[in-house]
Amino acid sequence: MNQIAALFYDIGEPFAAGLFEKPEKGYFYRFCLGYARYFEALRPAEWKGEQLYPALNRFYDPAYAVRPQFAVSYDIDWKRLEGKSAEAAAHLRGFYDICHNPGGWTHAAPNYRRILKEGLSSYRARVMARPEGEEFREGLLALIAGIESYICRSIEYLRSAGAPERLIRALERVPFEPAATYYEGLVAWNIIFYFDGADNLGCLDSGLIDLYAGEDYTEIIGELYANLDAAETWSVTVGPDYNPITLQALRAIRGRRRPLLELMVTENMPDELWEMAIDHLQAGSSNPAFYNADGIYAMLRKRFPHIPEEEIRLFCGCGCTETNLQGLTRAGGTDENVPLLKIFEKYMHEELTSAGSFEQFYGGFCELSRKETNAVLDRITGCYEYMARYLPNPPRTLFNDDCIEKGLDFNAGGARYTWTQNPHSGLINVIDSLLAIRELVFRKKKFTPEQFLEKLTKEDPTLFALLRQCPCYGIGNDDADSLAADYMTCVYSVYHEKQPGAFIDAHLLTEHQFLRYESEGSMVGPTPDGRRRGEPTCDSIASIRGKAVKGPTAMLSSAGKMPQNMADGISVLNLTLGKNFAGKALRALVETYFGMGGIQLQVTVTSVEELRDAVAHPELHQDMIVRVGGYSDYFVKLSPALQQTVIERNIHELGG
């Protein structure tokens, strides 16, 4: 063993040791050894009586400074590493200077169903069929051996800890042998979720139904959800091939902030599922979110006519909601944001005074929006090329189809489909700002461009009162909605026209904001939509907070006119309803919106009084869950600025 690898072993850093064990080899092989050595050394997770194992984020040991990381291959705690050895840290910095994440995020869902059906032993056989001596082959075999080592040591530990024989017997079979029972399927699903990096649970009900024999495992599914929540990760998809496990998966989400349960809705969804979903929402779960299955499939068929129907139906929204086909896709995770409102602010201050008409002003901004979007996609392409060369992801190479047969890493074109996905910030703010300028400067001529900019910069109260009275998106105003749809089409078309890069099949747009709408807003001054300096931008494609004054139907009508079928990475819409919103009315609202072309709808049921009391008395509302910018979270965990954005949303009452 060389001295650098020995140094890392001596200070208890097996992942880093594996990276340096064979420095003459390629990066894929070296990362495989890093993962393998980590799994070989990792202490079995503590068992505390759970029916699944490992559990509650006890898989990765925080004592290590260098650890696996699902989105960017590995993670380094430099302070901890420096404390162990400055010399070791210096060696790793030299490696990291080459092999680091250049930007962006990666989401995936393993091919759970195939692993349950075939077992990892069959995966090992597929790897062994590759040419002997090939680094790709030998690296994956080392990774598989590392996984097996961890499971074997875990079984020994579970025996010593007095764990149930059923759990031990299951782990003696899965995930290396095919799952024979529904319970074994859940055990395998859970441990593969961890080995993949604890990111996404994929299509749960359709993946397990072949093993179902009448058991009710709602409680165990709840454990699976708790493991995802503890790992601070994301989502699970159920439907539209509804079955008894769909019902169990939906029942288990009650009262949980995560996973984001993506309920695929069709016109044939059983009444029982509707009733349970709405009951959960009215009880304050903010789960599930509703997804228009037929709309999503039609959108993907149009964009990707070459993808077989059976693969289209493997849709699952990874991360918050980015489009993924389970087990087949390297899906970008909000790779880079396009700061539309910041772009607009700069353009407005530079060009409004010289614009001879609104059409001239608007046309120039559309051109700039397309240019800036193209520049972002070029940067993303560069990041993907960099990761393909220097930042392999061995577990996802193993768990996603086609990588083994191609002999290519997941990040280097191994997955069947590779899609970038990035969001906008401030889209609806931009639309309302354009509408306000058109109304006050060009149509009614209440201000010259110079006067308008001066008063806007000073946040003049008279101007801001007028701004809130201008035509806006989200109130069913055809004129306003027409401009909104035109601008969205202008920007969205860039993603369809852009030629992909060497390691990219297509660029997708996702309209979800996550947490960034607070930070994005902090960088932008006052804007003509009525937003004050530094305030957060819009949190979804819903109306600007406080502007949906004509009720939810009008707001959803505006959203339904937008070209959501061009945003292949899903358009998120936050809808907040009052406590009196009856079940049938909510169902009708969802079905009507989807009938108009809406793609996704996530609902929070609450009241302003309850939210304000949670701000004043957080200790009394620890379990209050709200929708944020594409995901759900505990209200009391949000920053004060994000809490305020939730409070300021229109809360629609039945009949209001």
Cβ atoms 237, 205 nearer than 8 A: no
Q: Is residue 395 domain-resident?
A: yes
Mean pLDDT of the region 415-442 = 96
Give the chain's mean pLDDT.
94
Kindly state the helix (H) or strand (E) to which residue 79 belongs, with its residue range: helix 78-84
| pLDDT at residue number 642 | 82
Q: DSSP letters along 569-608, please?
A: T-B--EEEE-TT--HHHHHHHHHHHHHTT--EEEEEE--H
Q: Is the pLDDT of residue 656 over 60?
A: no
The per-residue pLDDT for range 171-211, each reduced to its tens digit, is 999 999 999 999 999 999 999 999 998 889 999 999 999 99
| pLDDT at residue number 655 | 59
Mean pLDDT of the region 630-636 = 80
Nearby residues of 509 by Cβ (< 8 Å), 6 or more positions away:
421, 422, 423, 424, 492, 495, 566, 567, 568, 569
Cα(530)–Cα(433) distance, integer angstroms: 8
| pLDDT at residue number 104 | 72
| Between 115 and 653, the higher pLDDT residue | 115
| pLDDT at residue number 507 | 96
Q: Is residue 569 domain-resident?
A: no
Q: Is the pLDDT of residue 636 over 70?
A: yes
Mean pLDDT of the region 222-246 = 95
The per-residue pLDDT for range 579-601, each reduced to its tens digit, is 877 678 899 999 999 999 999 99
| pLDDT at residue number 27 | 98
Query: Distance from first CA to last CA of the chain, Å, rounded?
Result: 73
Cα(142)–Cα(130) distance, integer angstroms: 14
| pLDDT at residue number 58 | 67
Confidence of residue 128 (pLDDT cuts 50, 70, 90): very high
- Classify 68 as helix, strand or coil: strand
Range of the domain at 442: 331-563
| pLDDT at residue number 569 | 94
The per-residue pLDDT for range 309-347, each reduced to its tens digit, is 999 999 999 888 899 999 999 998 778 899 999 999 999
Q: Is residue 457 domain-resident?
A: yes
Q: Which two tokens stand for residue 72?
A: 């960017």
Q: Is residue 472 domain-resident?
A: yes
Q: Is residue 487 domain-resident?
A: yes
Q: Is residue 340 domain-resident?
A: yes
Confidence of residue 264 (pLDDT cuts 50, 70, 90): very high
Q: Report how many domains make up the chain.
A: 1
| pLDDT at residue number 594 | 97
Which amino acid, residue 273? Answer: L
Q: Is residue 101 domain-resident?
A: no
